Amino acid sequence: MSSVAQIIESGQTAIGIELGSTRIKAVLIDKQGNVLASGGFDWENSFENRIWTYPLELVWKGLAEAYGSLAADVQSKYGVALATTGAIGVSAMMHGYLVFDSEGNQLVPFRTWRNAMTEDAASRLTDLFSFNIPQRWSAAHLAHAIMGGEPHVAQIAHMTTLAGLVHWRLTGRKVLGVGDASGMFPIDPATGTFDAAMLDAFDAEFSAAFPWKIRDILPEVLPAGAEAGALTEEGARLLDPSGTLAAGIPLAPPEGDAGTGMVATNAVQPGTGNTSAGTSIFTMVVMERPLKDVHVEIDVVNTPAGHPVAMVHCNNGASEVNAWAGVFSEFAKALGAEADTGAVFKALFESSLAAEPDCGGLLSYNYLSGEVLTGLSEGRPLVLRTPDSHLNLANFMRSQIYAIYGTLAIGMRILEAEDIELTSMLAHGGLFKTKGVAQAALAAALNSPVAVSQTAGEGGAWGMAVLAAYLGDERTLSDYLDQAIFAGAEIDVVEPDPKLVEGFARYLKAYERALPVMRAAVAYS
């Protein structure tokens, strides 16, 4: 403990903070990537005026509380104050719409990635660029606001992501890591920054009536490892109102949750892939070559080092199974049983191991929000079964887990048709904490081996801390991860079970056949 305390006091550490959809998490790691302490703050988006959003006041409150609980954990474990660190990195959910005027005032409430309202704008941009622009991307939100004649557009001086906003407030620098930037506007792999020809095309199509050009309102793009500013005194007080944290700490380029997921699974080399499961779920495959065709179902983004990535993104992930776990927790309490959240999840997930491979005729849809891949503008969670289905806890829970992968499996077919090479698939996120359950289901859904490392439950905050530790390192990001972080890491690989592969295929066929029921639910409720 005394040696760890000395490491902390001397700043031989890195801090990663990730603003996820339901939790803001902060972790402190050493130079080998070992987690020394952590803290967090739970939050939820709100649906206001038919917009999924978070108030910025809650961003700053949650940021300070997550950091404060991290500092308290350090004090409790090691008896020292967290006054400095070697580097800090901030990541957050990607995409969305955050715009500010020249005085730094927010012009409209934050429109998160979860909003599926920019279909016309996204389609118009996709045609203009011959490059898929998903509805979630910042460029689509900006074009949507222009097409809708929203009066705030003329006042825009800066547009960024949530991670970019926090980094700006901490350092005064308007920069973004290339991975997060690639969810705002397409990146040119040759230059590592926003595609110049597409910027010009956007301005010609949309910006003529405004006093700005799009390149002037976007942040500067930086690769992993680049210098991205230092913590100002104002930024230090924003993170730590107690005054203990010192200013002057260097910050890594801010990244998106997709990029930190790639780092957390060591999936940054061409041919590697990762699946990140949280409020949303997405699979990313680092590509050797561009896609042959434009697919509206596939995003093309970049690793934090700049490599192009094919991304199958689904808006709906584990939120619905979390809600059901809450119901079962209430039931346990009603019976007088005391069960913490972790125990409830473990019991429910392990119960699914006894289920029929196809869930016994049960179907579950986890659509809390709209889903582009299946043509839904809004969400309606649904459990559907026929009179002869086999309703029991095991089948119900397996159907809930399969629901998380249903839309993802539909999107992955496109990459298979494109012959995109995949040498390894790694999974991470809290969904995989219960050993072998969600991992085995994912292997069945993808019909591919799925690996989970010992860091799988640490998620994006840990990945961002690793990117912060990488700041200034001269090795490639891949070499750094292999040599400094993942050397000797414990990896658990699950091969696809043929019975589950066949069962999931039957489930998915029924899932697709019943999608009109989901569309009717949206239309009539």
What's the pLDDT tens digit per position in 305-344?
A: 999 999 898 989 999 999 999 999 999 999 998 888 889 9
User: Beta-carbon neighbour count of residue 220 at 10 Å?
Assistant: 15
CA angle 356, 362, 365 (to 5 degrees): 125
What pLDDT was estimated at residue 377?
Answer: 86
Asked if residue 373 has pLDDT above 90, the reply is: no
> Between 355 and 339, where is the model more confident?
355
Domains, the chain: 319-454+495-524 (3.30.420.40)
Q: What is the pLDDT of residue 457?
A: 55
pLDDT of 465 > 90? The answer is yes
Helix, strand, coil % (nearest 5) of the chain?
A: 40, 20, 35
pLDDT digits (tens, 9 = 90+) for 12-32: 999 999 999 999 999 999 999
Query: Nearest-CA neighbor of 89 among 181, 193, 11, 163?
Result: 163
Q: What is the pTM of this model?
A: 0.82
What confidence tier does 455 reach under pLDDT thresholds 50, 70, 90?
low
DSSP assignment of 220-283 equals EEE-TTS---B--HHHHHHH-TTS-SPS--BBPPPEEHHHHHHHHTT--STTEEEEEESSSEEE
Buried-state track 474-499, b at ≥16 Cβ within 10 A, e below 16: eeebbebbbebbbeeeeeeebebeee
pLDDT at 456 (0 to 100): 53
Burial class (CB within 10 angstroms; exposed 0-12, middle 13-18, buried 19+) of 80 = middle
Euclidean distance between CA atoms 150 and 144, whole angstroms: 9
| Selection from 50, 45, 38 nearest residue 14 by Cα | 38
Query: Among 93-97, 220-224, 229-233, 273-277, where is mean pLDDT lowest?
Result: 273-277
Angstrom distance (rounded) from CA 315 to CA 271? 24
What was the pLDDT predicted at 421?
81
Q: In the structure, what pLDDT confidence band is assigned to residue 265 with cuts at 50, 70 and 90?
A: confident
More confident call, 457 vs 301: 301
* Span 470-487, average pLDDT: 95
**Residues of the chain above pLDDT 70, percent:** 99
User: Which tokens sit at 133?
Assistant: 């622009």
Q: What confidence score (pLDDT) does residue 4 get?
A: 95
Name residues whose C-beta falls within 8 Å of residue 119's C-beta, 6 or more positions apart in sequence: 135, 377
Which residue has tokens 């700041």? Answer: 471
- Please give the average per-residue pLDDT across 253-276, as a whole number: 91
Write out the two tokens for 206: 């949309």
Which residues on adjacent β-strands are paired with residue 338? none
Residue closest to 457 by CA, chosen among 500, 424, 490, 408: 490
For residue 459, the model assigns a pLDDT of 75
Looking at residue 470, its pLDDT comes to 98
Of the pLDDT bands very low, low, confident and very high (cuts 50, 70, 90), residue 353 is: very high
- Tell me how far apart the alpha carbons of residues 142 and 146 are, in angstroms, rounded to a whole number: 6
pLDDT exceeds 70 at position 153:
yes
Tell me what pLDDT residue 1 has. 64
CB 285 within 8 A of CB 310: yes
Residue 103 confidence (pLDDT) = 97
Mean pLDDT over 201-209 rounds to 96
Question: Which element (helix H / strand E) includes 66?
Answer: helix 56-78
pLDDT in tens, 49-89: 889 999 999 999 999 999 999 999 999 999 999 999 999 99
**Banded pLDDT at 458 (limits 50, 70, 90):** low
Whether residue 90 is predicted with pLDDT greater than 80 in this model: the reply is: yes
Residue type, 349: F
pLDDT of 454 above 80: no
Cα–Cα distances (Å) from 351 to 63, 244, 359, 437, 473, in that order, read 36, 47, 12, 9, 46
Q: What is the mean pLDDT of the chain?
A: 94
Confidence check: pLDDT of 234 > 90: yes
Percent of the chain beyond pLDDT 90? 82
Q: Looking at the predicted structure, is the pLDDT value of residue 276 above 90?
A: no
pLDDT-based confidence at residue 279 (cuts at 50, 70, 90):
confident
Higher-pLDDT residue of 16, 429:
16
Note whether 284 and 119 are within 8 A (CB): no
Residue 196 near residue 218 (C-beta atoms within 8 A): no
Residue 429 has pLDDT above 80, yes or no: no
131: tokens are 């490059």
